């Protein structure tokens, strides 16, 4: 009797990069079949212009996935994923209001809703998420537990450029100057002796700090570069050497240090 085939699933919003590739390789190592979805989910964007500007490279993505020998690629339409027009949504009432949730109203509800739909649609053995979106990862783990889903959620290490900037689809929108600032911010987050000093250093570099918080053994941050139509919001996190400490520095997005 043939054993049941295992399925590894990587949900993405496209604009694929080395971080996504590392998730795919992990899934291929641990499963018989690998499935990738590409869907830019409109309900997890708190600003309509951010949704419109989100990087899209579907042809390049499909070519890359073909070279990686992915077994199946899902590219659903908005109407397919939201046949009810978004009438039914998933709402988490605790963690989703903190950190990124405090600055992006509705973001995590949109994310959890589409992840639940995709997990039901694909029914994977395992689903793979990068730890760069650490709050997202923990919320998805809670979602699976709360709704009795059988999928194992696998958190994978952050993939970084040689500069130590974490790979992100949003990096495609950075100007050369913004990229250098983002690299310096990533290094400040890692090397500062405290979250307060990390926030001060990131702000001094010209970024607008949403928050720097030490939570569950990691230092997490979100900051914004550029103004108006050129604004790019990045998130990152690093493991703490002393995870017993717990500091919070949460700022309004328009506040800077003196």
Catalytic residues: 20
Tokens linked to 29: 């190592």
The single residue listed with the structure tokens 């988490």 is 92
Alpha-carbon distance of 2 to 15, in angstroms, equals 37
Q: Find the DSSP H helices in 9-73.
A: 18-30, 48-53, 58-67
Q: What is the DSSP letter of 5?
A: P
> Is 99 in contact with 211 (CB distance < 8 Å)?
yes
Tokens linked to 201: 């250093």
Question: Residue 131, SS3?
Answer: helix
Q: How many CA atoms lie within 13 A of 148 on its CB side?
A: 0
CA 146 to chain centre: 21
* Strand partners for 208: 224
> Is 153 in contact with 137 (CB distance < 8 Å)?
yes
> Is 134 in contact with 237 (CB distance < 8 Å)?
yes
Where are the extended beta strands (E) located within 66-118?
Answer: 72-74
């Amino acid at each position: 009797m043939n054993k049941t085939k295992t399925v590894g699933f990587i949900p993405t919003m496209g604009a694929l990069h080395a971080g996504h590739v590392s998730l795919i390789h992990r899934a291929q190592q641990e499963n018989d079949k690998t499935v990738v979805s590409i869907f830019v989910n409109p309900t997890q964007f708190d600003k309509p212009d951010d949704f419109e500007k989100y990087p899209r490279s579907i042809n390049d993505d499909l070519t890359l996935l073909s070279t990686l020998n992915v077994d199946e690629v899902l590219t659903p339409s908005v109407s397919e994923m939201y046949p009810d027009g978004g009438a039914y949504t998933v709402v988490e009432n605790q963690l989703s209001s903190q950190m990124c949730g405090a600055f992006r109203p509705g973001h995590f509800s949109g994310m959890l809703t589409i992840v639940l739909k995709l997990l039901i649609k694909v029914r994977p053995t395992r689903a793979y998420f990068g730890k760069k979106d650490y709050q997202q990862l923990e919320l998805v783990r809670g979602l699976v537990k709360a709704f009795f889903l059988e999928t194992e959620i696998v958190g994978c290490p952050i993939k970084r450029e040689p500069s130590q900037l974490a790979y992100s689809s949003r990096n495609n929108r950075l100007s050369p100057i913004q990229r250098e600032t983002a690299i310096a911010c990533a290094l400040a987050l890692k090397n500062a002796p405290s979250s307060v000093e990390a926030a001060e250093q990131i702000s001094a570099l010209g970024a607008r700090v949403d928050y720097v918080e030490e939570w569950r053994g990691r230092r997490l941050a979100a900051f914004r570069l550029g103004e108006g139509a050129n604004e790019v919001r990045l998130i990152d996190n690093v493991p703490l050497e002393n995870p017993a400490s717990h500091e919070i520095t949460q700022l309004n997005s328009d506040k800077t240090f003196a």
